[in-house]
Amino acid sequence: MSDLRETRLEKAAALAQLGQGPYALRFEPSHCHAELQRLHADLPSGQERLAAVAVAGRVMTRRVMGKLAFFTLVDESGPIQLYLEKATLEAASPGAFGQLTSLVDAGDLIGVTGTLRRTDRGELSVKVSGWQMLSKALQPLPDKWHGLADVEKRYRQRYLDLIVSPHTRETFRRGPGW
């Protein structure tokens, strides 16, 4: 068994010990990502809207910088940024920021609740106040920059190609009529 898989299994066990099992029974998203982008296009940069939202998706990228972290969450409609602030998460549940940043890996499916915020750079984000692990990924995703370059692997592991390639997902959505 690979070291990465062992590490992810240990994280799944840690989640279970915290009472947040690695596989959730239920999570109800309030919006899809594209819908949030459309509904809140008028939100100015640097502002926050106190509309409660719940979104779910696969974590594709993670950037942790001290007391702040940014995750990119992708659902079937597209990506949205998660804005994780230690003070906000710790106010709702002590230790939540550390758990989220240490136990969640790229490839995991999570559900989050929070409010909307447009960053100073103009990107619509969900300012997370709570989170739930929906499904722990036990294998790492392919490298973000190189993707699945091996054509044979793309065909053998179609599920992986569907996860990392927006073009392949769109081809499957369109169906046989292309």
- Model pLDDT for residues 103-118, shown as the tens digit of each residue: 999 889 999 999 999 9
Return the domain boundaries, the chain. Answer: 3-135, 142-178
157 token code pair = 């592991």
The rounded distance, in Å, linking the Cα atoms of 7 and 97 is: 19
Check residue 177 and give its pLDDT.
65
Considering the chain, what is the average pLDDT of its residues?
A: 86
3-135 domain in CATH 2.60.40.10?
A: no
Strands (E), the chain: 48-65, 68-75, 78-85, 109-118, 124-135
One-letter amino acid at 134 equals L
The rounded distance, in Å, linking the Cα atoms of 176 and 178 is: 6
Prediction pTM value: 0.81
SS3 38: helix
**Parts of the chain with a pLDDT under 50:** none
* Residue 155 CB neighbour total at 10 angstroms: 10
Residues 69, 84 contacting (CB under 8 angstroms): yes
